[in-house]
Chains A and B, each alone.
Chain A
Amino acid sequence: MSKQRDLNTLPAQDLEPVAVGGLLHRRIFLQGGGLAAAAFAAPGLAPGIARAESLDVPAWTKNPEGYFTGYGAPSRFEADVQRGPIGDQNPLYASGPGGIRAPIHALEGMITPNGLHFEITHNGIPDIDPDAHRLVIHGLVDRPLSFSLDALSRYPMTSRISFVECAGNSGALVRPTAVPGNAQTLHGLVSCAEWTGVSLAVLLAEAGVDPKAKWLLAEAADPSSVSRSIPIEKAMDDVMIALYQNGERIRPSNGYPMRLLVPGYQGNMNVKWLRQLKLTEAPMQTRYETSRYSLLLDGGRVAQYKFQLDAKSVIVRPSPGMGMRGPGLYEISGIAWSGAGKVRKVEVSADGGQSWAEAALSEPVLSKALTRFRMPWRWDGGPAVLQSRVTDESGYEQPTREKLIAERGQKNFYHCNCITSWAVDAEGGVAHVYA
């Protein structure tokens, strides 16, 4: 028996705006698909009243031509869902330093497919023979040890779903004028996957940690030998030698055959192609923790070893290039995350931050993982400015752009986690603005 109800039977308050600009109560998501479907129909019309075109039996129903492949690929009709390179210096298929952004506007849920996970490389992607690769743990340990991939594969495994985000993600928002970007080009240096591997604490126990060791230096086997200092407390807490990403071996571009997963910390610290961990008394002041990934503040002071990625959210639908098609009910969809833990709530504004309404969060809501939020919105066809604002479980609230700049200035683009504004015009177009 259908539970579907039309708008005439909805409790009146369910379709009352909860904030200016047509934002509706998230409750409509909680009462079953029928109710939500009804709410999303055109105002004043019963569901299903729009008339479909006459339906022929299509060719793909009549021609059994599909075949198996050893490794699947997306539909050819999804060919435009692609990662996009950063700037002109890093085109696709070029080697050397560069990066590539995830098409977050085109994805749903919380997991980034492996072929679309963002990448930053500091000198290309090494072609590592897993049988010849070694992970060495040395420095301030009782027993310097070397591990093969085969050996690590026999250790107890753990899995966790975790985001990885480049510390430079969203950095364009510190610029004086709003760049004409979209969700991918502005915020696409974040992705989320299920990572499986060996808890670093297990390997450190085997090597025997000297009590003098307060840090460890993680180094990659790539042609930049990227190295980052990581506090020993973090290493003991939730750091993993990740071997698998979303169930399959990590791909070369994301660190094959093993990478460090340092949940909630700067993406660069999640050292890919991990080959050694050297335990030290103090941080090593490497290039990627001095010249890069440090924050030049107003007055000339430099904030170094700011590791945690603070709470951020962004609406991905609608967003620039993903506009509206006429007035009516829409679902606003976006992602939120925090390096401090779980997302507690996400609020959405349709009037540039004047009024806010709480969005629904899709389960599961996991610590240091992307969280999907959704908000029903009846667009009246007029101009609007959409924003989202996350609060994490520590109580930290995503700052406005003005607040972040007031605190940190505009000479630094790392750790930019301020609120993003999307302006919707009367034609349904969406553009990045400062509100």
Chain B
Amino acid sequence: MFTLKNAAVIGVVFALGACGEQGASENASAESEAAAPKPVAEGPNLGVAVSHEDIAAWDIAIGPDGTNLPPGGASAAEAKDLYIEQCASCHGMDGEGGVADRLVGGIGSLASDMPVKTVGSYWPYATTLFDFIRRAMPLNAPQSLTDDQVYGLSAYILFMNGLVAEDQRMDAESLPAVEMPNQAAFFQVYPGNLE
């Protein structure tokens, strides 16, 4: 059932069939203390409850603080062969780029007239590397790598950029702790607009 608890969170309820935003019902006064931007139509409540277990395979987004990183880990040294096998044909043997993005180098170049944007020079968070590789790489077989392999490839790309040691294991603790050189350059425009 749609409850007044919901309404307090979202806003004012009005009956299905009411016309547009002019249809605020008598519930409006009961919920007037809620700072509701807009009335919300009532739906038929057909959502089916899902558990965390149900959606585990989909719930793969990693927060910049490492939230949701899975168990496991690997070092750059362990992943070198995997990089050559799975990544080098598009990103270059040394991450220099090819048909796909350059991954390595350019650190300190962004303020110059010839900025080189790479994972090392531009990306603000190392966690994004794990998140993106796991969900989208390799291009011809996304979501085919194991978590250990994704940790290893993240480590290898960071190693090629001189940001971690070759034998440094990347895992749920160490990956979010990697200091990305360009992080401080990022600033959030929203809710402003950069006009």
A146–B50 CB distance below 8 A? yes
* Interface residues in B126-166 (C-beta closer than 8 Å to A): 127-128, 131-132, 135-136, 139, 142-143
A-B contact pairs, 18 of them (CB 8 A): A123-B136, A123-B139, A136-B50, A137-B47, A202-B40, A202-B42, A203-B43, A205-B43, A225-B143, A236-B38, A278-B61, A282-B64, A284-B63, A285-B128, A296-B110, A296-B122, A303-B189, A411-B110
- Check if B80 is an interface residue, CB within 8 A of chain A: no
Contacts of A231 in B (CB 8 A): 190-191
- Check if A362 is an interface residue, CB within 8 A of chain B: no
Contacts of A225 in B (CB 8 A): 60, 135-136, 142-143
A276–B38 CB distance below 8 A? no
Contacts of B132 in A (CB 8 A): 286-287
Residues in A lying within 8 Å of B, measured CB to CB: 89, 96-97, 122-123, 136-138, 142-148, 151-152, 154-156, 198-199, 201-209, 211, 217, 219, 223-225, 227, 231, 233, 236-237, 275-276, 278, 280, 282-287, 290-291, 294-296, 298-308, 310, 396, 411, 415
Chain A residue with Cβ nearest B45:
A206
Contacts of A209 in B (CB 8 A): 9-10
Q: How many Å lie between the Cα of A275 and that of B101 in the bound state?
A: 27
Q: What distance in Å separates the Cβ of A87 from its nearest Cβ neighbour in chain B? A: 12
**Also in contact, A138 and B125, with CB within 8 A (given A227-B135, A284-B61, A306-B189):** no
What secondary structure prevails in chain A residues at the interface with B?
mixed
Q: What distance in Å separates the Cβ of A89 from its nearest Cβ neighbour in chain B? A: 7
Contacts of B11 in A (CB 8 A): 201, 205, 236
Q: A202's contact among B43, B50, B136, B194, by CB below 8 Å, is which?
A: B43
A236–B10 CB distance below 8 A? yes
Q: What distance in Å separates the Cβ of B23 from its nearest Cβ neighbour in chain A? A: 11
A284–B195 CB distance below 8 A? no
Residues in B lying within 8 Å of A, measured CB to CB: 2, 5-7, 9-11, 16, 37-38, 40-52, 54-55, 58-64, 99, 101, 110-111, 115, 117, 119, 122-125, 127-128, 131-132, 135-136, 139, 142-143, 182, 185-191, 193-195
Q: How many Å lie between the Cα of A4 and that of B55 in the bound state?
A: 68
Q: How many Å lie between the Cα of A291 and that of B110 in the bound state?
A: 13
Further 16 A-B residue pairs, CB within 8 A, beyond A208-B5, A282-B63: A143-B49, A156-B42, A199-B40, A199-B41, A206-B43, A209-B9, A225-B60, A225-B135, A290-B122, A290-B125, A300-B185, A302-B110, A302-B124, A302-B187, A303-B187, A411-B115
**Also in contact, A146 and B48, with CB within 8 A (given A211-B9, A224-B142, A227-B135):** yes
**Also in contact, A203 and B187, with CB within 8 A (given A296-B110, A310-B195):** no
**Also in contact, A305 and B41, with CB within 8 A (given A147-B48, A206-B47, A287-B128):** no
Chain B residue with Cβ nearest A237:
B37
Chain A residue with Cβ nearest B48:
A146
Q: What distance in Å separates the Cβ of B105 from its nearest Cβ neighbour in chain A? A: 15
Going nearest first, the 6 A-B pairs with the smallest beta carbon separation are A145-B47, A300-B111, A151-B46, A306-B189, A225-B135, A205-B10
B55–A287 CB distance below 8 A? no
**Also in contact, A198 and B193, with CB within 8 A (given A147-B48, A285-B127, A304-B188):** no
**Also in contact, A296 and B10, with CB within 8 A (given A143-B47, A146-B47):** no
B46–A306 CB distance below 8 A? no
Contacts of B190 in A (CB 8 A): 231, 305-307
Q: How many Å lie between the Cα of A208 and that of B40 in the bound state?
A: 13
Contacts of B10 in A (CB 8 A): 201, 204-205, 209, 236
Q: How many Å lie between the Cα of A155 and that of B46 in the bound state?
A: 9
Q: What distance in Å separates the Cβ of A148 from its nearest Cβ neighbour in chain B? A: 8
**Also in contact, A206 and B2, with CB within 8 A (given A284-B64, A300-B111, A305-B189):** yes
Q: What distance in Å separates the Cβ of B42 from its nearest Cβ neighbour in chain A? A: 7
B43–A198 CB distance below 8 A? yes
